[in-house]
Structure 1
Amino acid sequence: MAFSQNAVEFIHKSTARFGKVFTIRLLNQHVTIINDPHSYEQVCKERNFDFDAIQKQVNNNVFSLKLHDSKKMIKEASKKVKGQYLYATMQLFAHHLQEAFDASTESTPVENGWCKGRLRAMSSKTMFKAIFRTIFGKEKPDDVFEPMTVYKNFDLFHKYFNFLWLGLPIKLFPKACRALEMLVQMPTSNDIINRDDVSDYIRYSTQFMKANGQTEADIIGHNLVFLHVNYNTFRVSYWLIYYLTKHPEAIGALVAEIDDTVRVKSETCDDDCDIELSIQDLDRLPVLSTLISPYFLFSFFNRYCNRIFTKK
């Protein structure tokens, strides 16, 4: 009951009492909470904490999805988010992010040279929109399944996520039902496959599911699962920005670290060349590494360096 009333407060109190890794009972099942990200690598190797059971439970209870030959699909589709595919995806994401950021500032009133707005709204118009378009491609003018409509409904639907994956029927939550009715109005599988800018992962997984007899409803469910995973990335970015703005000294340390790295790189570049940072370069930045995985910010900082810094 305490978890349902205020999950964050409950987790903080439990952490103070039991430590950073503890197990609680929710209804008829046990859930282990890892409240320390640095413990993840060690804990994830524990066979008793295999995430596969939770994954299947979420797929079935929340998105009504059961994959045929799921291990084969995941094994093959996961290749589409690594190596050269990762680099291409991050370049596309950077393009969508810059485009979304430019559009959000153009539409926001300017007061004394500053664009003002709520952080959550700004994040949805930039980060979420860029993630959405990187996954599904850029929407057409008449698409109901477009970033801001999806964000509004997915954000509402996600409020009931814990209740749904625990097995409570969705009909108990009318707002979640209405949100889901909109979310399933995505383009057909053939339309998604034929989009030039759809992600390689979505294209391959959709083709795989069609070849293995999965229905359109199954494909929609899978795509919503994938969006759910990336929705968490959007939430992480929101909290990252929030806490950075709360701690100016952290921003100062981060900017100084980036400045130094870019200036060192610029010394080996011609005046008319872009300054590029590799993932390995970002791995060596201690302040950045304490904030979030460099892979998440790889293309963003490449774009940041190219637009902001000039060699002097």
Structure 2
Amino acid sequence: MTVPTVLPEKPAILEVRHAVRAWLGRHAPTGAVAVALSGGADSLALTAAAVAESPAVRALVVDHRLQSGSSAVAGAAAARALDLGCVSAEVLAVSVTGPGGLEAAARAARYAALDAGRDDRPVLLGHTLDDQAETVLLGLARGSGGRSIRGMSDHDAPWGRPLLGVRRSVTRQACAELGLETYEDPHNSDPRFTRVRLRTEVLPLLEDVLGGGVAAALARTAEQLREDGEVLDASAEQVLGAALDGNELQVAELTAVPVALRRRALRTWLLGQGAKALTDKQLRAVDELIGRWRGQGGVAVGGGRPGVRLVASRRRGRLSAGFVND
């Protein structure tokens, strides 16, 4: 079914269009974008709105090949993108392998395929306010401070998320207004996945117990933390610049720095030295080499490869990080 170029002026699709229009104005004034399309309500509504607001939209459809018939589903989504008015629609087949479980491996494969296929355009993703609330709850469970509950940014190049202020119910209604049949991924209702249980069990319970408005409140909290975090991160960059001497840090430049800034500076430095999957416990242990120095030994942090560790250590008033054999 081909959707008319001029979309109906109905409440839900107008809300989605306004969100996309505002995002394009801030981050992609030329309007040349790609859209990650799954065939679900969120990405379909996003695609329809993007075509109405942008002169040249490319659709990228990722086939994870995790279910029987996935290629047909992907092909149907690509055809629907062309019906909506996209200038092109490409199916990207991926292999889902790697560490971290099925969800993490699928996400890594999806983002890698989208990045490879975007042709230097920003990629619009259909994450909604509800997805943001779920992300904040997952961050709370990690317990890694404000950074873990800042949620998703509306622009984290090359990724764009215009719908972070739009409810999932609105995207579904928008598709209904356009007469679009949506695809329901079975994985989105599979209770084996943590995010599904948050969506179907935890958030509804919180809404009931706390009298509603929980998802919106979580999203607002994430936005406020991102704004605060950006200010602190900018200050921490200045702290790091003053302390850096080559690849090492001068301890004297960090001793009197407030811990919130110092740990941010240390985090940036460690990531630059090759740290990966840095935990709050590791970061605090490295910070103690400055704030609670007792002559302790080095601190192993995530990074390196099998049989080799990245270790941060203090010597003669300097912090250094290097790879050592186990």
**TM-score with structure 1 setting the length:** 0.26
Task: Name the structure where helix makes up a greater proportion of residues.
Answer: 1
Higher relative CO (CA 8 A, sep ≥ 6), structure 1 or 2?
1
Task: Name the structure where strand makes up a greater proportion of residues.
Answer: 2
Pick the structure with greater CA Rg: 2
**TM-score with structure 2 setting the length:** 0.25
